[in-house]
């Protein structure tokens, strides 16, 4: 069973810091109030009650010794005091006040204890918060008023101070948490925005020592990743470039050769063309598309050339393309769409349906085929470079687009999607397979 703290604990660091500060300060304030009451307030009330008891006893003895004819004059003289008011009668002049407060109750208990069995005490409060104590003086009943402690007396001041301290502690905890969380939130945002194709600016390496070290480590990590990616791209581009030179010579040699076997010549030419296409994709993937400028792209113009090139192969527009625009890299988007279409033609079956719909941050383009799909265990890895699905599960449905790619088609589409703040999502359908290209409007 989870503890109460684990159930009530906020999820955010800011909430946990404020809640923990509130708990610690609250417990400290409660202990302070208890100690103040036990060590300061109660002894002081007992001292005042003792003095009051002595005064009441003295007044009782004085009135007992005074003749009854002179008591009223003496009571009138006592009533002139600014601290004590005496009233004769069974009830005080005003007993419509609220119940006694905590301090008043503690004082009355201390007074009862100090008086002992000398008299039977009872008390009332009036609308001005005077305490009226019922006592017997000289054998006659009297009501003696005692001025009540002010609203902001010792207890009120203590509670007000405790509340102020509690509030200031919460404000300080909230400000401190916000100051600590601001660089952490910046680190989180930078991590989410980070892409090798378009790395985010380095984080500021200031603030507390630990936060500055964390930002510095993140900047060093992104720099190392960028260098590693640049080296990988350079090696891949170098290999592709070095292979294309002898490939061009080989292609020229085949064209200049005289061969009676036309089938052999055509086969060799196809293999050379295939190698050349593979090298082109290697170079394209290695260079990336980050250097292409961002411009306003019309969605219908994005689909028109794709439909013109692949319409006869079974590619159709399943729903009218919205007449919208977005800021993006047009050639990169066109390459991503072509790769998804060719992947559907390679491994799926016609018709290949294209749809486009708007999302809160951009657009989503869906390419759906009617093939047999791929095993669920392979879907997550299909957007990785050089990864292919189980192409042997069925014979090629479209001989003109038999699987002969490089394994970079979906990886390149994912690279382009990430460059535009999106992603490529793949899923099996009941009667086919769908690839969804989500792209966000790039802020210029």
Domain of 99, CATH number, reads 3.30.450.300
Task: Give the residue-averaged pLDDT of 203-231.
Answer: 82
- Prior bond to 99 cis, omega within 30? no
Residue 371 contacts residue 348 (beta carbons within 8 Å): yes
Q: Does some domain include residue 435?
A: yes
Q: Please tell me which residue, 310 or 388, carries the higher pLDDT value.
A: 310
Q: Does some domain include residue 37?
A: yes
Q: Which of 156, 187, 220 is the last residue of a domain?
A: 156
Q: Does some domain include residue 197?
A: no
Q: Which of 113, 128, 156 is the last residue of a domain?
A: 156
* Those residues with Cβ within 8 angstroms of residue 362's Cβ, 6 or more apart along the chain or in another chain: 326, 420, 421, 422, 438, 439, 440, 441
Q: Does some domain include residue 58?
A: yes
- pLDDT tens track for 333-384: 999 999 999 999 988 888 999 999 998 888 999 999 998 888 888 888 888 8
Where residue 97 falls among pLDDT bands split at 50, 70, 90?
A: low
Structure tokens at 108: 């009355």
- pLDDT tens track for 401-420: 555 566 788 989 998 998 88
Q: Is the domain of 8 the same as that of 151?
A: yes
Residues 213, 223: Cα–Cα separation, whole Å: 15
* Those residues with Cβ within 8 angstroms of residue 109's Cβ, 6 or more apart along the chain or in another chain: none
Give strand pairing partners of 433: 369, 428
pLDDT value of position 385: 79
Task: Kindly state the percentage of the chain with pLDDT values over 90.
Answer: 13
Query: Ranked by mean pLDDT, which of 91-105, 118-132, 315-329 comes out on top?
Result: 315-329
Residue 111 contacts residue 133 (beta carbons within 8 Å): yes
Q: Does some domain include residue 168?
A: no
pLDDT value of position 119: 55
Q: Does some domain include residue 230?
A: no
Q: Does some domain include residue 426?
A: yes
Task: Kindly state the percentage of the chain with pLDDT values over 70.
Answer: 73
Q: Does some domain include residue 340?
A: yes
Task: Give the residue-averaged pLDDT of 80-104.
Answer: 66
CATH number for the domain harbouring residue 423: 3.30.565.10
Structural domain boundaries enclosing 400? 290-440
Q: Looking at the 3D structure of the chain, how many domains does it have?
A: 2
- Check: pTM over 0.85? Answer yes or no: no
Q: Which of 124, 156, 188 is the last residue of a domain?
A: 156
pLDDT value of position 151: 44
- pLDDT tens track for 134-155: 776 666 777 777 655 554 455 6
pLDDT value of position 346: 87
């Amino acid at each position: 069973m989870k503890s109460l703290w684990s159930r009530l604990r906020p999820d955010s660091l800011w909430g946990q810091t404020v809640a923990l500060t509130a708990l610690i300060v609250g417990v400290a304030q409660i202990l302070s109030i208890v100690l103040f009451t036990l060590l300061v307030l109660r002894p002081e009330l007992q001292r005042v009650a003792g003095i009051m008891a002595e005064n009441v006893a003295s007044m009782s003895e004085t009135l007992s010794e005074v003749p009854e004819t002179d008591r009223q004059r003496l009571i009138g003289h006592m009533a002139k005091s600014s601290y004590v008011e005496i009233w004769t009668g069974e009830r005080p002049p005003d007993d419509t006040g609220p119940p006694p407060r905590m301090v008043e109750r503690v004082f009355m208990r201390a007074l009862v204890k100090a008086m002992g069995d000398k008299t039977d005490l009872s008390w009332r409060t009036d609308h001005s918060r005077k305490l009226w104590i019922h006592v017997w003086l000289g054998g006659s009943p009297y009501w003696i008023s005692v001025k009540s402690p002010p609203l902001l007396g010792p207890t009120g001041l203590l509670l007000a101070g405790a509340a102020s301290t509690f509030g200031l502690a919460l404000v300080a905890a909230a400000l401190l948490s916000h100051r600590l969380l601001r660089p952490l939130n910046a680190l989180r945002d930078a991590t989410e925005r980070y892409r090798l194709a378009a790395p985010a600016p380095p984080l500021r390496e200031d603030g507390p020592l630990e936060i500055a070290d964390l930002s510095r480590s993140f900047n060093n990590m992104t720099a190392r990743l960028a260098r590693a990616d640049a080296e990988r791209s350079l090696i891949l581009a170098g290999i592709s470039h070095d292979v294309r030179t002898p490939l061009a010579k080989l292609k020229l040699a085949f064209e200049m050769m005289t061969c009676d076997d036309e089938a052999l010549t055509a086969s060799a030419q196809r293999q050379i063309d295939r190698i050349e296409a593979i090298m082109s994709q290697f170079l394209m993937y290695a260079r990336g598309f980050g250097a292409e400028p961002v411009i306003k792209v019309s969605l219908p113009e994005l689909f028109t050339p794709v439909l013109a090139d692949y319409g006869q192969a079974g590619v159709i527009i399943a729903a009218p393309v919205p007449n919208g625009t977005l800021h993006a890299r047009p050639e990169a988007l066109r390459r991503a769409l072509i790769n998804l279409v060719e992947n559907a033609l390679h491994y799926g079956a016609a018709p290949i349906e294209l749809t486009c719909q708007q999302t809160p941050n951009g657009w989503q383009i869906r390419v759906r085929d009617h093939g047999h799909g791929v095993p669920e265990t392979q879907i997550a890895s299909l957007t990785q470079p050089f990864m292919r699905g189980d192409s042997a599960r069925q014979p090629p449905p479209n001989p003109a687009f038999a699987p002969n790619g490089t394994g970079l088609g979906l990886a390149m589409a994912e690279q382009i999607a990430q460059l535009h703040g999106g992603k490529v999502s793949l899923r099996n359908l009941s009667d086919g397979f769908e690839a969804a290209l989500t792209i966000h409007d790039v802020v210029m």
